[in-house]
Amino acid sequence: MPRFLPITPDEVREMGYDVPDFVYVCGDAYVDHPSFGAAIITRVLEQNGFLCAMLCQPDWKSADDFRKFGRPRLGFLVSAGNIDSMVAHYTAAKKKRSGDYYTPGGAAGRRPDRAVTVYCNRIREAYGDVPILIGGLEASLRRCAHYDYWSDKVRRSILLDSRADILMYGMGERSVVRLAKLLDRGVPVGKIRDVRGTAYVCKRGEKINFEPAGGYGDDGTPRGYEFDTLASDRAAYADAFRVQYENNDHVTGRAVVEYYGDRMLVVNPPQPPLGEDELDRVYELPYARTYHPSYEAAGGVPAIEEVKFSITHNRGCFGACNFCAIAFHQGRSVTSRSVRSVVEEAKSLAADPDFKGYIHDVGGPTANFRHPSCKKQLTEGMCKNRKCLVPKPCPMLEADHSEYTEILRQIEQIPGVKKVFVRSGVRYDYVMCDKNDEFLRKLVRDHVSGQLRVAPEHCSDRVLREMGKPGIGVYDRFSEKFYSLCREYGKDQYLVPYLMSSHPGGTVDDALELALYTKRAGIDPDQVQDFYPTPGTASTVMYYTGIDPFTGKKVYTPTDPREKKICRALLQWRRRENRAIIAEAEDYCSPRGKEMLRELLENGKNTGKNVKKTASRRETKKPERKKKR
C-alpha cells in the first residue's frame, strides 16, 4: 500500500519524530494526489527533509483538534483546500450547497466558512505565538483588501483577520521551502521579510526589501492605499486592483503596500514560475495518488474520480479572462513539464490495477498551452497594456501545438492505453491562430469523448470585451471547422459551449442577443453559469465598483436579483418553468430589446423541438458513415 504522510501522533512517532516539523491544516479531506495543492506542498517539504503531519477537516468548534500533534517544531501550514471555502459552501445565488466534492462521501458541513481565518484563530487559541504560514487559493486571492460578495463589503487582507504571520500566494513550492529552511535555521518568523511570493504585516513605515509599486512618499514611506479609502472609494479600489494585477509578474513586479492604521501590509513580488526540470521533479514525487484509506468507510472522496487518471502538463494561463482568477493566482506565464515526464506519468497510470484503459485528461488551466505566448515575455515580462489573444491575437503570439500533439501521440501508444481524452478547457481562439491544423485534426479524430467543452461565454461584443474574450466570430469559425472535421472523420461529436449570464457589461438586451444566437444556432444550454463575483478577478472589481480597472471607464453591472433571474432564464428560454419570468423582460428592455424578445418567442414552442441539449442543429445531423459491406 502507498505510504501516506502521518495523520496521527502515533504515526509521527513511528517515523522517528517526537513532533512533526509542520502540521498542515486543510479544509479538504486528505488526498495525496498532485491535483491537490496540499499534497504537492507537503511532498515538496518532505523531499527537502521536513515532515508534515496532516490535520484535515479538523473540528473547528474548539481548539482541541489543533492540539492533536502537540506544538510542531517549526509551525503550522494552513489552507482552505483546493477551492475557496465560501465557493465550496454557496452558489452564485448565495444558496447553501448540499454537498462538498472534497469531503468523504461528499458530505456538507465539514469545514467552516472562511476556513483559513477560523483555523488560524483556533491555532492561536491553542499555541499563542507559534508560527503560522497560510497559503492556497483562499489565502492567495485574499492577500490584499478585497470585495467580499457574501457579506457585500470590502474586507481586510486575510493576513489581518487570520492573525497569521506570513501569507504565501501563487504556486508555493519555492516560497514554502525557503521559509522552512529559514525557520529551521532559527530565524524568527517576524524577521522573515525578503521571500518572494509572500506577504506580511509590519509596523507602518518599516523598511521593505523590494521597490514599492507606488514609489516612496515625501516622508520616505512606501506609497500605498489606506484600507479606509479602499473600503469607501470605489474608484480607488479599482485602481488598487490594477496595481496588484500589473505587479503580479515575476519579471517586472514590485511590492504592493496597503495601510491599516499603524500597520502596513507588504506583498512582495511573485516568485518566478518553476521551470521544466523543477516541474518534472514536483510531479514525480512519491504520491499515493488516492485518498487516505481511513475515508473508505464513508465512500471515499468524490474529487479523486475525475483526476485519478488525469495528467497535469502545464501551469499558468496567458488567456487571462477577466472573470478567472488563474492569472492572479498561477500567473500569466505558462510553463510546462517535459514530454518525457508526462509520458512516464501516463505509463505509471497504465500500470495501476484500477486502470481501465482511459486517460481522462492531459491538461491544466488551459489544455492546449505548452509554452510562453512569445519570447519577449521571458526577459521583459508580460505586457501591461494588452493581452495576448484579445481583442485580437498579438502579432508576436507564437501559436504552436506540435509538442502537445506529440505528447498525446506518445501516450496513446503506451501498452494498455485504449484512449486519451482532452477534457480541460481548450482555448479555441489559440487553436485558430495555429497555421498548422494538425492538432485540431488529431483532437477531433482521437481525443474527444463525444463532446468537447469550449467557452465562448457570450455573443455580445460589449459583454465579451468586458470578459476579456474574443468576438463570437472566432467561435463560429472554430465550430465550422470542428464539424467539418467531424464529418470528414465520420465522428458523431458535439461542441458543448459554456455560457454565462449577468456578467458586468451585460444588460437584458445583451441576454436577449445571446438567447437569439442560441435559437438561430439551435443550441439549448443544459446548464448556464451565473457570474460569480469571487476575490482576485477583474470582473469582480467591475461588479462591485462599476469600473473597468484597466481602462477606468464605467461598466454597467446587473446586480438586481430580478434582472439577473431574467437574464439567466432567457438563456434557457425553451423551458416551460422560465416562461413567467421571461414575460417580465420587457420591463428591462430597450425598444430594440422588445423586438428581439418578440423574435425569440415567435414560434418558440416549436423552435428547436428536435434540438439536442447544448448542440446546434447542424450538430444534430449525424455525419455520413460508410456502409459496411
The mean-pLDDT minimum among 108-117, 306-315, 612-621 falls in 612-621
Same-domain status, 164 and 122: yes
pLDDT of residue 621: 35
Per-residue pLDDT of 141-179, as tens digits, reads 999 999 999 999 999 999 999 999 999 999 999 999 999
Same-domain status, 117 and 205: no
Q: What is the mean pLDDT of residues 41-56?
A: 98
574: pLDDT strictly greater than 60: yes
Per-residue pLDDT of 223-254, as tens digits, reads 999 999 999 999 999 999 999 999 999 999 99
pLDDT of residue 617: 31
Instruction: Tell whether 347 is covered by a domain.
Output: yes
Instruction: Tell whether 511 is covered by a domain.
Output: yes
Instruction: Tell whether 586 is covered by a domain.
Output: yes
More confident residue, 339 or 526: 339
With cut-offs at 50, 70 and 90, classify the pLDDT of residue 528: confident
Instruction: Tell whether 550 is covered by a domain.
Output: yes
**Domains in the chain, number:** 4
Same-domain status, 341 and 383: yes
Instruction: Return d(Cα 398, Cα 396) in angstroms, integer.
Output: 6
605: pLDDT strictly greater than 60: no
Same-domain status, 222 and 174: no
616: pLDDT strictly greater than 70: no
Helix (H, G, I), strand (E, B) or coil at 26: strand
pLDDT of residue 97: 96
Instruction: Tell whether 117 is covered by a domain.
Output: yes
Q: What is the mean pLDDT of residues 430-435?
A: 97
Same-domain status, 209 and 129: no
Report the DSSP pairing between strands 451-457 and 419-420. Answer: unpaired
With cut-offs at 50, 70 and 90, classify the pLDDT of residue 436: very high
With cut-offs at 50, 70 and 90, classify the pLDDT of residue 602: confident
The dihedral region occupied by 523, where left means phi > 0, alpha psi between -120 and 50, and beta the remainder, is: beta
Beta-bridge mates of residue 105 = none
Same-domain status, 226 and 278: no
Same-domain status, 37 and 162: yes
Instruction: Tell whether 456 is covered by a domain.
Output: no
C-alpha cell at 314: 502545464
628: pLDDT strictly greater than 70: no
Single-letter code of the amino acid located at 179: L
Q: What is the mean pLDDT of residues 519-543?
A: 93
* Cell 454565462 sits on residue: 500
Same-domain status, 240 and 278: no
Q: What is the mean pLDDT of residues 463-467?
A: 97
Per-residue pLDDT of 106-122, as tens digits, reads 999 999 999 999 999 99
CATH number, position 26: 3.40.50.2300
Cβ 30 vs Cβ 292: under 8 Å: yes
Cα three-residue angle 333-339-345, rounded to 5 degrees: 105
Instruction: Return d(Cα 363, Cα 314) in angstroms, integer.
Output: 7
Distances (CA, A) of 364 to 140, 152, 312, 316, 426: 19, 32, 5, 8, 10
pLDDT of residue 439: 97
The mean-pLDDT minimum among 274-278, 342-346, 381-385 falls in 381-385
Per-residue pLDDT of 186-206, as tens digits, reads 999 999 999 999 999 999 989
Same-domain status, 492 and 599: yes
Give 463-467 contacts, CB < 8 A, sequence gap 24+.
463/503, 463/505, 463/506, 463/510, 465/391, 465/505, 466/322, 466/503, 466/504, 466/505, 466/506, 466/539, 466/542, 466/548, 466/555, 467/321, 467/322, 467/323, 467/500, 467/503, 467/505, 467/539
Instruction: Tell whether 541 is covered by a domain.
Output: yes
CATH number, position 355: 3.30.750.210
With cut-offs at 50, 70 and 90, classify the pLDDT of residue 59: very high
With cut-offs at 50, 70 and 90, classify the pLDDT of residue 425: confident
pLDDT of residue 527: 78
613: pLDDT strictly greater than 60: no
C-alpha cell at 8: 496521527
- Mean pLDDT in the chain? 93
Report the DSSP pairing between strands 31-32 and 290-291. Answer: antiparallel
Per-residue pLDDT of 73-87, as tens digits, reads 999 999 999 999 999
Q: Tell the burial category of 327 from Cβ atoms under 10 Å away from its Cβ (0-12, 13-18, 19+).
A: buried
Same-domain status, 414 and 500: no
Same-domain status, 154 and 224: no
Residue range(s) defining the domain that contains residue 399: 309-449
Please enumerate in sequence order all residues whose Cβ is within 8 A of that of 482, keeping only pairs 6 or more positions apart, or say none.
440, 444, 452, 493, 495
Same-domain status, 238 and 281: no
Instruction: Tell whether 185 is covered by a domain.
Output: yes
With cut-offs at 50, 70 and 90, classify the pLDDT of residue 604: low
Please enumerate in sequence order all residues whose Cβ is within 8 A of that of 353, keeping only pairs 6 or more positions apart, or say none.
none
- Selection from 327, 323, 336, 456 nearest residue 383 by Cα: 327
